Amino acid sequence: MSPAIEISGLKKVYTTGKTTKMEALKGVSLTIQKGEFFAFLGPNGAGKTTLISILAGLGIKTEGTVKVHGVSIDENPDLAKSFIGLVPQEFNFSIFEKVLDIVLDQAGYYGITRKEALPHAEKILKELGLWEKKDQQAQALSGGMKRRLMIARALIHKPQILLLDEPTAGVDVELRRSMWEFLKELNESGTTILLTTHYLEEAEQLSERVAIINHGEIIEEGSVQQLLSKLHFVTLLLDTVETINEAVMLLLRGEPLVRDEEHVLKLTLKPGDTINEVFRKLSSIGIHEKNIRTTGRMLEEVFIQLIEKK
Amino acid sequence: MKSPIFVGYLTMVRKELVRIFRIWSQTLLPPVVTMSLYFVVFGGFIGSQVQPISGYSYMQYIVPGLVMMSIITAAYMNTVSTFYFAKWQHVIDEILVSPMPSWAVIAGFVSGGIIRAFLTGVLVVAVSLFFTHLVIFNILILFAAAFLTALLFSLAGIVNAIYAKSFDAISIVPNFVLTPLTYLGGVFYSIHLLPPFFAKLSLANPILYMVNAFRYGFLGVTDVSIGRCFAVIAVFTLLMLLWTLILFRKGAGLKR
């Protein structure tokens, strides 16, 4: 069985001037299996959008091979494109058109008549909370609704692979959570999802595997757990009973502790460090801990460490 | 059961039709107003003082040229504006990510241009009936000339829009190329009335052949042989079609 996406030695060079060139992708190789939820993490300008554009047929690669469900995008681009639904980063629909028309027209480009597409359009628009707005021009929608409209449009031809380029950028927390739920359910129903994001929490919450991309190269790839195991240090937060003031911090000089808040200490453990030593020291100066927690930004720490290392 | 490509093509055509009628005051009304003024000023006030040309009153003589002028402008402006806006707002990505082949996408845009050109042509002919009576010499030649010219300029509009990097770039060709060539393309006169040098120079203007083929369909008179007219239109249309297909194939100005 062929994978959902197979990328090998993918290079993209942009000509930015008469003689200046910019290498956006420097030989990226990657395989994504059918049914996977895969996240591409990277800072702005890392090459995420370039990669998505090439996969969706909007970008022209300089070198390398790309196969979608075993179909080469060079040999049969139209068939390869039929497997994919794209949710781009920027709004790219006519704001003067009605919501339902935008979705049904997209079905038409995939060879599905308006009549055939209507029941599925109704289902998706209802799931995404847009059915009530179906007869409104897209310009009347809020930012979050416009983003959901792009998801509805990408799903109208029931693609086997959904590409999302920073789908929750600029979306409020509540809406982001509901979009995550929607994407999880979609993935559970069998759709392969490739998502680019720089929200690390998003990658951690949704994806089984993550690739970290920077300056056009994949610098790390694996499951979220595998990436977390690469942490060179771990940051923990200690909630204390006593107030942490400057006098306490003087007594804790030399320990891997910094004051985070009035009753919170931040503890950074390097490989080989033991937590018992720190607790003994705290106890000796009369500081008692109520609770220990992680920062909740574990993947972010891996990300920062890897980016800085490279 | 319709073929998927045909469904895609029909979707594009439907979308264009809806757009043309939604903004009819921008797409259909202006040529009607402009051509009415041409009929009044050139055909009525000035034309009444001009000798008949090839046995037709001046008003009757200029009507086919003016209709052709509006067809050329409508076809060109429709595709150049639709395509450039789609490119500028990235709305064209909706189509580029789909499995529609390039030729079908081109056919969709071109059909929009041809439809608007025909609607405009019919409206201008209808307005001309207030000023003169209609003579039709050969309806097939009339339609063939109108269709091929609309096709040629719809394609030219796409090519312009593909190369255009700003809104200025989509107005340069209509203002500085299309308008002068149309005015000097025998819309208002027969080239036989020109000094020999300018008459010969006019033969280098492709629009002359379109205007004359169209006028032949209406009145049965032409400055150049009808065969030569169609040969020139066909060659230019084929070249423009090839150019458009090559640009699409390369993804020039469309893909990143």
Q: What percent of chain B has pLDDT over 90?
A: 72
CB atoms near residue B187 (< 10 Å): 22
Q: In this structure, is residue B26 part of a structural domain?
A: yes
Cβ–Cβ under 8 Å, residues A71 and A77: no
**Which residue, A200, A223, A246, sits at the end of a domain?**
A223
The greatest distance separating any two alpha carbons of chain A, rounded to the nearest whole angstrom, comes to 76
A103 touches B at CB < 8 Å: no
Same domain, A156 and A245: no
Same domain, A201 and A249: no
Phi-psi region of A161 (alpha: psi -120 to 50; beta: other; left: phi over 0): beta
B96 touches A at CB < 8 Å: yes
**A276 vs B149: CA distance, rounded Å:** 86
pLDDT at B62 over 80: yes
The reply to whether residue B95 touches residue A109, judged by beta carbons under 8 angstroms, is yes
Number of domains, chain A: 2
Cβ–Cβ under 8 Å, residues B32 and B25: no
pLDDT at A203 over 90: no
Q: In this structure, is residue A228 part of a structural domain?
A: no
Read out DSSP for B109-123? Answer: HHHHHHHHHHHHHHH
Whole-number average pLDDT of chain A: 88
Q: Based on the number of CB atoms within 10 Å of its own CB, is B169 exposed (0-12), middle (13-18) or buried (19 or more)? A: middle
Query: Nearest by CB to A86, which of B22, B97, B256?
Result: B97
- Taking the model in full, what pTM does it have? 0.84
**Which residue, A223, A244, A274, sits at the end of a domain?**
A223
pLDDT at A231: 62
Same domain, A11 and A152: yes
A84 touches B at CB < 8 Å: yes
Burial readout A12-48 (b: 16 or more C-beta within 10 A, e: otherwise): beeeeeeeeeeebbeebebebeeebbbbbbbeeebbb
Instruction: List residues bridging with A237 in a β-sheet.
Output: A266, A293
If pLDDT is split at 50, 70 and 90, which confidence band does A232 have? low
Same domain, A166 and A276: no
Q: In this structure, is residue B82 part of a structural domain?
A: yes
- Chain B residues within an 8 Å CB radius of A112: 4, 7
Q: In this structure, is residue A133 part of a structural domain?
A: yes
Spell out the residues 6+ positions from residue A157 whose beta carbon is closer than 8 angstroms to its own: A82, A85, A106, A107, A110, A112
pLDDT at A136: 95
Spell out the residues 6+ positions from residue B54 whose beta carbon is closer than 8 angstroms to its own: B61, B190, B219, B221
**A97 vs A118: CA distance, rounded Å:** 16
pLDDT at B64 over 90: yes
A58 touches B at CB < 8 Å: yes
Q: In this structure, is residue A136 part of a structural domain?
A: yes
User: Coil, strand, or helix at residue B191?
Assistant: helix
User: Coil, strand, or helix at residue A209?
Assistant: strand
Nearest to A150 by CA among A135, A136, A162, A161: A162
Q: In this structure, is residue B256 part of a structural domain?
A: no
Same domain, A33 and A150: yes
Q: In this structure, is residue A14 part of a structural domain?
A: yes
The tokens for A204 are 């951690």
Instruction: List residues bridging with A197 in a β-sheet.
Output: A41
Query: Nearest by CB to B90, which of A56, A92, A96?
Result: A92
If pLDDT is split at 50, 70 and 90, which confidence band does A298 have? low
More confident position, A81 or B251: A81
Mean pLDDT of B36-60: 86
Q: In this structure, is residue B220 part of a structural domain?
A: yes
**A144 vs A172: CA distance, rounded Å:** 8
Q: In this structure, is residue A52 part of a structural domain?
A: yes
CB atoms near residue A145 (< 10 Å): 18
The tokens for B42 are 């050139």
Instruction: Select the residue from B9, B94, B96, B247 to test the A interface by mutation, using most A Cβ atoms within 10 A.
Output: B94
If pLDDT is split at 50, 70 and 90, which confidence band does A69 have? very high
Q: Based on the number of CB atoms within 10 Å of its own CB, is A91 exposed (0-12), middle (13-18) or buried (19 or more)? A: middle
Q: Give me the long-range contacts of A226-231 (CB less than 8 A, separation at least 24).
A: A227/A299, A227/A302, A228/A298, A228/A299, A228/A302, A230/A302, A230/A305, A230/A306, A231/A298, A231/A301, A231/A302, A231/A305
Q: What is the least distance, in Å, from the CA of A301 to any CA of chain B?
A: 33
**A261 vs A243: CA distance, rounded Å:** 9
Please tell me what DSSP assigns to residue B235: H
Instruction: Note the pLDDT tens digit of each residue in A248-262.
Output: 888 888 888 888 888
pLDDT at A300: 67
pLDDT at B69: 94
Same domain, A238 and A300: yes
pLDDT at A309: 63
pLDDT at A44 over 90: no
The reply to whether residue A57 touches residue B11, judged by beta carbons under 8 angstroms, is no
If pLDDT is split at 50, 70 and 90, which confidence band does B1 have? low
Nearest CA in chain A to B249: A60
Burial readout B193-216 (b: 16 or more C-beta within 10 A, e: otherwise): ebeeeeeeebeebebbbbbbbbbb
A15 touches B at CB < 8 Å: no
Residue type, A284: S
The reply to whether residue A56 touches residue B5, judged by beta carbons under 8 angstroms, is no
**B98 vs A85: CA distance, rounded Å:** 9
The tokens for A166 are 């920073």
Q: In this structure, is residue B119 part of a structural domain?
A: yes
A79 touches B at CB < 8 Å: yes
Query: Nearest by CB to B255, which of A60, A78, A82?
Result: A60
pLDDT at B175: 86
Cβ–Cβ under 8 Å, residues B58 and B52: yes
Same domain, A27 and A154: yes
Instruction: Note the pLDDT tens digit of each residue in B226-239.
Output: 999 999 999 999 99
Cα atoms found within 13 Å of the Cα of residue B55, Cβ hemisphere only:
5
Q: CA dihedral in degrees (A40, A41, A45, A49; nearest 10)? A: 20
pLDDT at A236: 82
Q: What percent of chain A has pLDDT over 70?
A: 93
Q: CA dihedral in degrees (B220, B223, B224, B227; nearest 10)? A: -10
If pLDDT is split at 50, 70 and 90, which confidence band does B114 have? very high
Q: CA dihedral in degrees (B140, B146, B152, B158; nearest 10)? A: -130
Among A99-108, A225-234, A280-289, B162-171, the minimum mean pLDDT is found in A225-234
**B206 vs A208: CA distance, rounded Å:** 62
pLDDT at A279: 84
What are phi and psi for residue B222, nearest 5 degrees? -155, 150
**B96 vs B104: CA distance, rounded Å:** 11
pLDDT at A225: 75
Mean pLDDT of A72-92: 93
Number of domains, chain B: 1
pLDDT at B246: 95
- Chain A residues within an 8 Å CB radius of B11: 105, 108-109
The reply to whether residue B99 touches residue A92, judged by beta carbons under 8 angstroms, is no
CATH code (residue A256)? 3.30.70.1560
**Which residue, A179, A199, A223, sits at the end of a domain?**
A223
Query: Nearest by CB to A108, which of B7, B22, B90?
Result: B7
Same domain, A114 and A152: yes
If pLDDT is split at 50, 70 and 90, which confidence band does A193 have? very high
pLDDT at A19: 76
Please tell me what DSSP assigns to residue B56: B
User: Coil, strand, or helix at residue A68?
Assistant: strand
Mean pLDDT of A110-128: 95
Mean pLDDT of A51-69: 94
Same domain, A242 and A218: no
pLDDT at A127 over 70: yes
CB atoms near residue A83 (< 10 Å): 18
Same domain, A192 and A267: no
Instruction: Note the pLDDT tens digit of each residue in B73-112.
Output: 999 999 999 999 999 989 999 999 999 999 999 999 999 9
The reply to whether residue A58 touches residue B96, judged by beta carbons under 8 angstroms, is yes
- Which domain covers residue A264, as residue numbers? 234-309
Whole-number average pLDDT of chain B: 92
ipTM: 0.88
Same domain, A208 and A251: no
Same domain, A75 and A195: yes
Q: What is the least distance, in Å, from the CA of B41 to any CA of chain A?
A: 38
Q: In this structure, is residue A267 part of a structural domain?
A: yes
More confident position, A278 or A104: A104
CATH code (residue A38)? 3.40.50.300
Cβ–Cβ under 8 Å, residues A161 and A35: no
Q: Is the dihedral of CA A50, A53, A55, A57 positive or negative?
A: negative
CB atoms near residue A284 (< 10 Å): 9
pLDDT at B176: 87
pLDDT at A113: 94
Q: In this structure, is residue A140 part of a structural domain?
A: yes
Mean pLDDT of A275-282: 83
**B202 vs B188: CA distance, rounded Å:** 13
- Which domain covers residue B46, as residue numbers? 4-250
pLDDT at B51: 87
